[in-house]
Amino acid sequence: MIQALLNYPHIDPVIVHLGPLAIRWYALSYITGLLLGWGLVILMLRERELWTAPVFGGQPPATEDEIGDLVVWATLGVIIGGRLGFVLIYGTFFCGIWGTSPACHGLPMGYLENPIEIIAAWKGGMSFHGGMIGVTVAIYFFCKKRGLDWAEIGDLFAVVTPVGLFFGRLANFVNGELWGKPTDVPWAMVFPRAPDALPRHPSQLYEAALEGVLLFVIMQIALRVFHAQRRPGLMVAIFLTGYGLFRGFVELYRDSDTVYFGFFSVGMSLSIPMFLIAGYFYWHAFKGKRA
């Protein structure tokens, strides 16, 4: 048997028990990502040099108070959208058609037999794509209510979303879930929850590095070097393109139990609509003359 060269750090997914309440790293990752993202957006709003172009009229696209209110909407969008996205995309659509996967565990009929499972996010099961849809809906209706430009606000959130992705993937690693395929690379690890004792790719860390760190750097370069924010919607397009490419690439190394055929997984398929939506935002960004 191939020996793993790196030991998997056995970290308890639960930080602390407070009576019947368990504080988990996964929940903390969501909170940390949201708070840091909020703080980074506020710092961007305070950098007046980012908003000197005529398209902004010399003012940032929103006030700090407006962003604070929007964070509440976005948080609900992440939680509701993330859970419903998992239920609909994985638990219902995938399991309803390709129900032989071990990931299904009696789904989707289990939702009908025990409807509480639909909202049981504490048992695991959140979809980034669903969370992204939830946040998009929240941003759209908030901007419509407050009279803000939805593309400009979307750009702000696109810049900081990689922060949340980074912490989320680290939490997946701590939980020992979403492991990679068996491999003999020097950094392979044995994940205790995997169905065997084979060394595997730490695919969660690949995603943290690509979707989190590298994509964050790309977004910062687009913002500060190429001033992509001057074409509202362009930052959203760049984010969707980068995430779709990185997620599709890592799926080649991730031991996904939601595979349609061969190596083509649900994660890969969801990159396709992201590219299409990115195409719309590229069109929106370049359709008019911007300063």
> For the residues 245-254, what does the mean pLDDT come to?
95
pLDDT of 153 reads 98
> For the residues 168-184, what does the mean pLDDT come to?
92
Look at the chain and report how many structural domains it folds into: 1
Q: How confident is the model at residue 97 (pLDDT cuts 50, 70, 90)?
A: confident
pLDDT of 239 reads 98
> For the residues 207-235, what does the mean pLDDT come to?
97
pTM of this structure? 0.91
Look at residue 69 and tell me if it is in a domain: no
On the question of pLDDT at 33 being above 80, the answer is yes
Cα(236)–Cα(157) distance, integer angstroms:
8
Cα(275)–Cα(270) distance, integer angstroms:
9
Look at residue 245 and tell me if it is in a domain: yes
Q: How confident is the model at residue 100 (pLDDT cuts 50, 70, 90)?
A: low
* Higher local confidence (pLDDT), 13 or 241: 241
Look at residue 163 and tell me if it is in a domain: yes
* Higher local confidence (pLDDT), 271 or 93: 271
Percent of the chain topping pLDDT 70: 94
Look at residue 170 and tell me if it is in a domain: yes
On the question of pLDDT at 123 being above 80, the answer is no
On the question of pLDDT at 120 being above 90, the answer is no
Backbone angles phi, psi at 17, to 5 degrees: -100, 125
pLDDT of 26 reads 83
On the question of pLDDT at 124 being above 70, the answer is no
On the question of pLDDT at 5 being above 80, the answer is no
pLDDT of 4 reads 52
> For the residues 24-30, what does the mean pLDDT come to?
86
pLDDT of 227 reads 97
Q: How confident is the model at residue 211 (pLDDT cuts 50, 70, 90)?
A: very high
pLDDT mean across residues, the chain: 90
Cα(85)–Cα(228) distance, integer angstroms:
30
For 12-21, 30-39, 156-165, 182-191, which range has the lowest pLDDT when averaged over its residues? 12-21
Look at residue 272 and tell me if it is in a domain: yes
Look at residue 65 and tell me if it is in a domain: no
pLDDT of 53 reads 93
How crowded is the C-beta side of 29, counted as CA atoms within 13 Å?
Answer: 23
Domain range for 201 is 1-9+151-291
- Determine the residue type at 198: L
Look at residue 124 and tell me if it is in a domain: no
What pLDDT, in 10s, does the model give residues 60-71? 999 999 999 999
Residue 250, beta-bridge partner list: none
On the question of pLDDT at 291 being above 90, the answer is no
Q: How confident is the model at residue 2 (pLDDT cuts 50, 70, 90)?
A: low
On the question of pLDDT at 142 being above 70, the answer is yes
pLDDT of 122 reads 64
Q: Tokens 């750090």 sit at which residue?
A: 9
